[in-house]
Amino acid sequence: MFRACRGRITLIASLAVLALGAASACDATTEGEAVRVAVDKVAGFEVTHFDSGLKEDAPTPDVTVENLTDSLEDRLAVATIADLNDFWGKTMPAEFGMEFKPVSRLISYDSRGESVQTKCGTIKDENAFYCPPGDTVTWDRGVLLPKMTGKYGPISPVTVLAHEYGHAVQTRLGEKAGKDNTTPTIVSELQADCFTGNYFRWVVEESSAYIRVSTAEGLNSALSSLYFVRDQPGKLQADMGAHGTAFDRTFAFQEGFEKGPKKCAGYDREMIKQRTTQQKFSEHDTGKGDLPITEENLGLVKQSLDAAFGGDGGPEIAASGGACDGDAGTPPASYCAGSNAVSVDIGALSQIGLPIDIRAERQGEDAKGKGDFAAWASVASRYVLGVQRSGDIAIDDTRAGLRTACLVGSWAGAANQPREVAKTVRLSPGDVDEAILEMLQPESLIASNVKGDQVPSGFLRIEAFRVGYNKGPDTCGSTYR
């Protein structure tokens, strides 16, 4: 975030609407469909917790791979490809009336060793990619996949390979997927993420002979992997090689998981243009958009939140240690119902808000901070609990956590609209991705209730934030009532 210089224009989110949503018998409407999200289900599936990865009783894959080793990453890759052949072999005829032909050439390599030759050139970098001219999928078993496995677990390589196979699916579908030589890179990449979501739903349905994925930690791993391969802040959708922000990529994955292959095949440049969150840095983005966590800036964020929610019921925010009198609260930020105030520990919050160390992150190391918006969104989550409480809405159950994430998302969306909200602060490139990163942490406050009890599924947390960001606060009351 950064300080903005323009005048104040108020966006009012009616508390009456939130309260009405809590009591109404009518469901929310999204794209013409009645929707009321179940807090204990992920797209209709129970929230599950178990070790995700290769099944112990998985059959031996019948797949030929050049330079294959017995490494965990190669075993995961081969099992995933065998599984993808099974999935798309059944799905493509059923959904598109076409036979699926498995990818012609598969290459495993170690980027620390000798290069490999493909029809797309000589390959030696840390990478995984699909080469259309040679109908080839290639992956780095030496550095990239072990790094991702170490950081996000065995579902991470599965996500990477499913994405690359998504490109092979595009090539086979051609016009049925809107694919031609003029298709922008970002459209192809997000469509491949959407196809990845299709495959993961099939695995969650327990149709896979090779892979098992829980809807809590397992899908969190897939979403975290998409965060890892996001575009860096400041990259634009029209730039060469654009893949999308973490917000864009997780959106595409979740859409594929929920809505099926035909939805993914309908991706086109106009749709992506309308919904991408990529933007360039403004001349005002000093320090690349990081707003330091200080008492002065806490006041600016308070003004922005008051403007976004009309000031009605909005609690005071103070740097008072992060706890409540007589109650441990949820440090480093707590909503104290007795005084209708948010208590913040500036020092602890500053650690969350440190800029992300991109170099360390790319090396698979601790990236230290999660960015300023991860910290400010945590404060906002405690503020919107006060907004909900002033509307006589429960703030101590699981649904409160989803509603909170949604309202924080609505604030982020409002702060990104120059004519709709007080311009004390405004989003900078990468801010929404910092929120995605924070919501995938086990200790995050953004999607938690007043007690700090977190919504158990990262999938649901991110989805709720996105609903608020895209549709505004009124939808939060009705969707998560």
pLDDT tens by residue, 169-188: 999 999 999 988 888 889 99
Q: What are phi and psi of 52, to 5 degrees?
A: -100, 150
* Percent of the chain's residues with pLDDT above 90: 73
The answer to whether the beta carbons of residues 65 and 108 sit under 8 Å apart is yes
Q: Work out the average pLDDT over 14-30.
A: 41
pLDDT at 2: 56
Q: What is the pLDDT of residues 463-478, one digit of tens each?
A: 999 999 999 999 998 8
CA angle 302, 308, 314 (to 5 degrees): 55
Does 424 have pLDDT greater than 90? no
The answer to whether the beta carbons of residues 335 and 322 sit under 8 Å apart is no
Asked whether the CA dihedral 117, 123, 124, 127 is positive or negative, the reply is negative
Report residue 317 as tokens: 């925010």
Burial call 236-259: b when 16+ CB within 10 Å, e when fewer: ebeeeebbbbbbbbbbbbbbbbbb
How many Cβ atoms are within 10 Å of 448's Cβ, its own excluded? 25
Mean pLDDT of the chain: 88
Q: Work out the average pLDDT over 133-138.
A: 97
Q: How far apart are CA 263 and CA 414, in angstroms?
A: 28
SS3 label, residue 60: coil
Q: What is the pLDDT of residues 299-349, one digit of tens each?
A: 999 999 999 998 766 899 999 999 999 888 999 999 999 999 999 999 999
Does 418 have pLDDT greater than 90? no
Q: What is the pLDDT of residues 229-247, one digit of tens each?
A: 886 655 555 555 656 899 9
Least confident of 127-136, 237-246, 393-402: 237-246
Q: How far apart are CA 476 and CA 21, in angstroms?
A: 8
How many Cβ atoms are within 10 Å of 358's Cβ, its own excluded? 11
The answer to whether the beta carbons of residues 128 and 51 sit under 8 Å apart is no
